[in-house]
Amino acid sequence: MLGLELIPLGIQAIYAALTFHAVAFYDPNLTGGSMLNNAGSGGGEPLNVIISGLSSPEVLTDAGLLHYAQAIGFSFECLGIHLGDPQSANLGDGNGWVNQTIELRQDFGDDDIGTCLESLVGGNHFRVFRQNGTLANSGALFLAVSQEEDVWDGHTIIPDGYNAGRDKLVAAAIGLTYYERTTYSTVARNLTGLLPAGSTGVNHGIATDGITVLLTVTIV
């Protein structure tokens, strides 16, 4: 799919409506994928939130996801600049290891420059991977969510940062949220069995509780 700057939200919504999916997601573990991404340091970040393929189709587009993220307190990176190498994930959909679609950061109430503050003082952020290959074409968005330290502590993940980041995002998302003239209704369901609990294979050796949260987002 083309970048955000090239496809207006309205056109992406039409595209999404033509590619509507009938399942929430497919378990990557069943088809050679993993619920840990490749963080490039010998470990992976847990894919601890999934935006269901049964969500409103517009939400599952690149532009629609950004709008939804802005409704729950996230936005594009500071001045649109990304530092560091992208991470990749294998969602078991036949596409193999694919780089993140986008990375979004907590915006502290200002979706234009608020993420610059996150880059300094730390906060929540997430990476997005789309499950759309021919083996498992759910259209679901798999998020690697984590809470970061400030820049003076190297922007590493805080202790318990994967669980904490996931829980803060979910708390901001559930119920009714708004951005510009769009209202979103989000329901959450905890899933077990996708991610093992513990720190084996997890980036920075930070243990997780093994819970993945499935969000179904409906435009109302």
Task: Name the most confidently modeled range: 1-5, 11-15, 93-97, 147-151.
Answer: 93-97
For residue 2, tell me if it sits in a domain.
no
What is residue 13's predicted lDDT score, i.e. its pLDDT?
Answer: 43
Mean pLDDT of 100-115: 81
Question: Which residues are paired to 67 by β-bridges?
Answer: none
Please name which of 50, 43, 79 lies closest in space to residue 65, comparing C-alpha atoms. 50
pLDDT averaged over every residue in the chain: 86
Predicted model pTM = 0.86
Q: What are phi and psi of 123, to 5 degrees?
A: 155, -160
For residue 3, tell me if it sits in a domain.
no
Whole-angstrom Cα distance, residue 7 to residue 219? 20
The structural domain count of the chain equals: 1
Mean pLDDT of 14-38: 82
For residue 8, tell me if it sits in a domain.
no
In the three-class reduction of DSSP (H, G, I as helix; E, B as strand; rest coil), residue 13 is classed as helix
For residue 209, tell me if it sits in a domain.
yes
Q: Token digits for 53?
A: 């393929």
Mean pLDDT of 109-119: 70
For residue 41, tell me if it sits in a domain.
yes
Whole-angstrom Cα distance, residue 189 to residue 122? 27
Task: List all residues 6 or more positions away from 17 whose beta carbon is below 8 Å from its beta carbon.
Answer: 57, 58
For residue 12, tell me if it sits in a domain.
no
Q: Give residue 173's domain range.
A: 22-219
pLDDT(9) > 70: no
Contact 38, 96 (CB under 8 A): no
pLDDT(14) > 90: no
58-84 residue pLDDT tens = 999 999 999 999 999 998 867 555 555
For residue 5, tell me if it sits in a domain.
no
Please name which of 138, 160, 137 lies closest in space to residue 147, comparing C-alpha atoms. 160
pLDDT(94) > 90: yes
Where is average pLDDT lowest: 11-25, 27-41, 203-217?
11-25
Q: Token digits for 30?
A: 């069943």
- Residue 155 vs residue 37, higher pLDDT: 37
What is residue 101's predicted lDDT score, i.e. its pLDDT?
Answer: 95
Where is average pLDDT lowest: 41-55, 90-104, 149-163, 193-207?
149-163
- The HSE-up count of residue 172 (CA atoms within 13 Å, CB side) is 21
Residue 50's identity, in one-letter code, is I
- Which residue's entry shows tokens 């907590």? 106
126-165 residue pLDDT tens = 999 999 999 999 999 999 999 987 665 555 789 999 999 9
- Which residue's entry shows tokens 């769009």? 182
